[in-house]
Structure 1
């Protein structure tokens, strides 16, 4: 069923669901849907982490698995581990230095008109474009 939908429709629906989930978390619990903060709390103190954090992360994983059953997932080109591992570490360091990730700053921060989030998203976008440019040259 979902595989027959136009890609713009599914992307738009995904954006609406992300926005709705972020708003519900803010409205219901007064929490920002910053995935890096939620995940780091669960990793740092798995026993003491609030149950909503576990439920949120489980929902991300299960929701992706369930929706993936109805979608045709494209085959992506692979990259060597000697590029992927440093890239992942740089993302983690950037998340710590930026005090958040794209979900916290991009979805929630911009929605709250946060100047700090606007700067963070600008930096995310610029470094993302630079990384794509460099990776295309390395391929």
Structure 2
């Protein structure tokens, strides 16, 4: 069971929201991680510099948190690495078909009252709930 951390979660959520607002205000771009990442994979987008800085910040920020507070969040998955890789590839296909990821639709799209993003986020959540139910209660795995 994961420990409930309301204050850390609230602070982290506020920082994500602030980053999304600043990216929209300063660059007119949506803070969807998949779209940002796709611009730094060759062929590079014309605006690859801010994309690389955004991704670098997302990677380096947890290092600073560990350095400041010493808290390392343990990650353990009962699923084999092969299944995690396959799941990642399936998510990549879904992101492409859905026209964005959960951060783009869920954080930025809903905040802009985008009907498309609201529907996409509801589909993400329903699919997640159905997948967990099937894996845990029908198949009996992980």
Same topology, TM > 0.5 = yes
For 1:37, the equivalent position in structure 2 comes to 35
What is the deviation of 1:129? 1.2
Length, aligned pairs only: 134
Question: 1:1-139 to 2 correspondence within 5 Å?
Answer: 7-46=5-44, 48-69=46-67, 70=69, 71-136=71-136, 137-139=140-142
With CA pairs under 8 Å and 6+ residues apart, which has the higher RCO, 1 or 2? 1
Deviations 1:68-100 (A, max 9, x none): 342241342331134222211110000000000
Which segments of 5 or more consecutive residues in structure 1 lack a partner in the other structure?
1-5
Runs of 4+ displaced beyond 6 Å: none
User: Is the alpha carbon distance of 1:44 and 1:130 closer, same or farther for their aligned partners in structure 2, counting shifts above 3 Å?
Assistant: farther
Which segments of 5 or more consecutive residues in structure 2 lack a partner in the other structure?
none
Structure 2 length-normalised TM: 0.85
The separation in 1 between residues aligned to 2:18 and 2:47, in whole angstroms, is: 23
Deviations 1:46-86 (A, max 9, x none): 47552101100100000122213422413423311342222
The separation in 2 between residues aligned to 1:35 and 1:12, in whole angstroms, is: 20
Higher deviation after alignment, 35-44 or 68-77: 68-77
RMSD: 1.8
Structure 1 length-normalised TM: 0.87
User: Is the alpha carbon distance of 1:32 and 1:47 closer, same or farther for their aligned partners in structure 2, counting shifts above 3 Å?
Assistant: closer
Cα contact 2:24–2:31 (8 A) shared by 1: yes
Cα contact 2:110–2:117 (8 A) shared by 1: yes
